[in-house]
Amino acid sequence: MARARVLSGVQPTGALHLGNWLGAIRNWVDLQESHDTFFCVVDLHAITVPHRPEQLADDTLTTAALYLACGIDPARSTVFVQSQVPAHCELAWLLNCVTPLNWLERMIQFKEKAVKQGDQVSVGLLDYPVLMAADILLYDADRVPVGEDQKQHLELARDIAQQRINARFASRDAAGEPVPILKVPEPLILPEGARVMSLTDGSSKMSKSDPHEVPGSACWIPRS
């Protein structure tokens, strides 16, 4: 029988920290045993905020190497860099054309980051969840490991797939039943590590943007 497919990824922004290991990569290693696994370095997401291109290129390769060092086995999992697959951007544009603007404006992470960026907030930051939806839907993922802070983004991906694509454009089989175009993914929220708190401020999530958490990191954006 075919195994359920899992897709996940981490931004290549600075050094991976303990929260990335506990909340994501450690679980990915275990998922290889029971699922068809796809793990992406999501570098296109990283350019939605100020960055240095040379540093981002280096961090992208370093993040991929750390996946392997932490136990992701390329013989059992597909490991890739998001920007190397043009279909991510192509599907994102198609999804943009059917996604209501107000769905994106209500996203909590956009509101929080937009306040910090002020007048410099980009369209890319607003559109970030649509690209994330494209990442997921492109691979027919059955389940997506997400932290509590990412559950809203996955709900958006589900809504786009079900309400804006399948409900509008699905064909019908010989019996007249709708044939979905996109698979609607389910969240995979594990009981441990769903939200790893900061070692310096127990009221907030551990973040790459805190130089006290990750000494010497590029320090500007957490995993999103």
Active site annotation includes 113: yes
Q: Is residue 77 part of a domain?
A: yes
Catalytically annotated residue among 111, 116, 151, 208? 208
Instruction: Provide the pLDDT for residue 192.
Output: 57
Q: Tell me: the pLDDT tens digits for 82-96?
A: 999 999 999 999 999
Q: Is residue 201 part of a domain?
A: no
Per-residue confidence at 224, pLDDT binned at 50, 70, 90? very low
CATH assignment of the domain containing 77 = 3.40.50.620
Q: Is residue 2 part of a domain?
A: no
Catalytically annotated residue among 111, 116, 183, 205? 205
Active site annotation includes 183: no
Structure tokens at 100: 């209501």
Structural domain count of the chain: 1
Instruction: Provide the pLDDT for residue 214.
Output: 39
Q: Is residue 203 part of a domain?
A: no
The mean per-residue pLDDT over the stretch 126-150 comes to 92
Instruction: Provide the pLDDT for residue 59.
Output: 94
pLDDT at 56 over 80: yes
Q: Is residue 215 part of a domain?
A: no
Instruction: Provide the pLDDT for residue 191.
Output: 63
Residues 6+ apart with CB under 8 A from 45: 11, 82, 128, 131, 132, 224
Q: Tell me: the pLDDT tens digits for 64-75?
A: 999 999 999 999
Q: Is residue 141 part of a domain?
A: yes
Catalytically annotated residue among 111, 113, 151, 183? 113
Active site annotation includes 208: yes
Q: How far apart are CA 105 and CA 166, in angstroms?
A: 23
- Domain residues for the domain of 148 are 7-188
Q: Is residue 155 part of a domain?
A: yes
Q: Is residue 197 part of a domain?
A: no
Q: How many CA atoms lie within 13 A of 182 on its CB side?
A: 26
Share of the chain above pLDDT 90, in %: 60
Strand ranges inside 68-219, DSSP E: 77-81, 143-145, 171-172, 178-179, 186-188
